[in-house]
């Protein structure tokens, strides 16, 4: 069953067709890589998938419901309960330490609990960095903190926009292992990446070109 589905999705910014007639689906437990050159529409696509932006045209189905039929409160609810987001720019709060950054997100999800914040950080290998502020963490550690933060609501779907874009290979490998673990737990994973090595761990690669669907490669049938 497809938990997210695009049918002929278009997104226009004035004259710019950032997305032009894109159709594909994401199944439960499926890992989908979104690939394509800079400016091909990857971020626009994940912004719509993560309900931060809406399409100009086309149908977007969320667990079978048409997103356009949902009101704002229902959309917020879906985003809060089902989706965990990881960005290239970490968007961490500089004056809060690691555990406080995670707990701030718990606060938004109304599930403040220091013990589970700590275990989320343990899970990404940051048990020894709880009281460090973002500026006192390496790039790889900051991204792991972001992943811990994204997991706080036990989301079914993790959406990551170039999460390893600023990281070296060693840190990229650590993040890759985390993603593999999430997939093994049955979570759906949508990963925007430039990196072919990383992209090929997916079950399916969606390739964009100038806002159009270039091709879909199925590597592993779900």
Residues interacting with ligand ADP, by CB under 6 A? 13, 16, 18, 36, 38-44
Name residue, tokens 């007639």.
Answer: 21
The residue among 85 and 124 lying less far from ligand ADP, judged by its C-beta, is: 85
Residue 140: contacted member of Mg ion, ligand ADP, none (CB under 5 to 8 Å, by partner type)? none
| Cα–Cα distance measured from residue 14 to residue 2, given in angstroms and rounded to the nearest whole number | 31
Which of 171/193 has CB closer to ligand ADP?
A: 193
For residue 14, which phi and psi values (nearest 5 degrees)? Answer: 60, -125
Whole-number minimum distance, CB 7 to ligand ADP, in Å? Answer: 19
Q: Toward ligand ADP, which CB reaches closer, 19 or 167?
A: 19
Residue 38 binds: one of Mg ion, ligand ADP, none (C-beta under 5 to 8 A by kind): ligand ADP
Phi/psi of residue 192, each to 5°?
-85, 125
- 54 in Cβ contact with 214 (< 8 Å): no
Q: Which helix (H) or strand (E) holds 72?
A: helix 72-82
With CB cut-offs between 5 and 8 Å by kind, which of ligand ADP, Mg ion, none does residue 18 bind?
ligand ADP
Footprint (CB under 5 A) of Mg ion, residues 1-60: 42-43
16 binds, among ligand ADP, Mg ion, none (CB under 5 to 8 A by kind): ligand ADP
Beta pairing class for 65-66 and 57-62: antiparallel
Pairing of strands 31-35, 188-192: parallel
CB nearer to ligand ADP: give 38 or 110: 38
């Amino acid at each position: 069953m497809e938990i997210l589905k695009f049918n002929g999705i278009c997104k226009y910014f004035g004259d710019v067709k950032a997305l032009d007639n894109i159709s594909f689906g994401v199944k439960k437990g499926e890992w989908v890589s979104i690939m394509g050159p800079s400016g091909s529409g990857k971020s626009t696509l994940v912004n719509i998938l993560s309900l931060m932006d809406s399409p100009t045209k086309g149908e977007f189905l969320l667990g079978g419901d048409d997103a356009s039929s949902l009101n704002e409160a229902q959309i917020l609810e879906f985003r809060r309960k089902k989706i965990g987001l990881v960005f290239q720019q970490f968007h961490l709060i500089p004056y809060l330490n690691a555990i406080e950054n995670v707990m701030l997100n718990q606060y938004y999800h109304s599930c403040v609990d220091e013990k589970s914040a700590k275990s989320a950080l343990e899970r990404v290998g940051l048990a020894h960095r709880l009281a460090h502020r973002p500026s006192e963490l390496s790039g790889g550690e900051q991204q792991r903190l972001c992943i811990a933060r994204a997991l706080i609501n036990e989301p079914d779907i993790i959406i990551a926009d170039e999460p390893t874009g600023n990281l070296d290979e060693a840190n990229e490998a650590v993040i890759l292992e985390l993603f593999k673990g999430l997939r093994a737990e049955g979570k759906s994973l949508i990963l925007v990446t430039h990196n072919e090595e990383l992209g090929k761990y997916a079950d399916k690669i969606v390739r964009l070109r100038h806002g159009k669907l270039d091709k879909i490669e199925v590597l592993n049938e779900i």
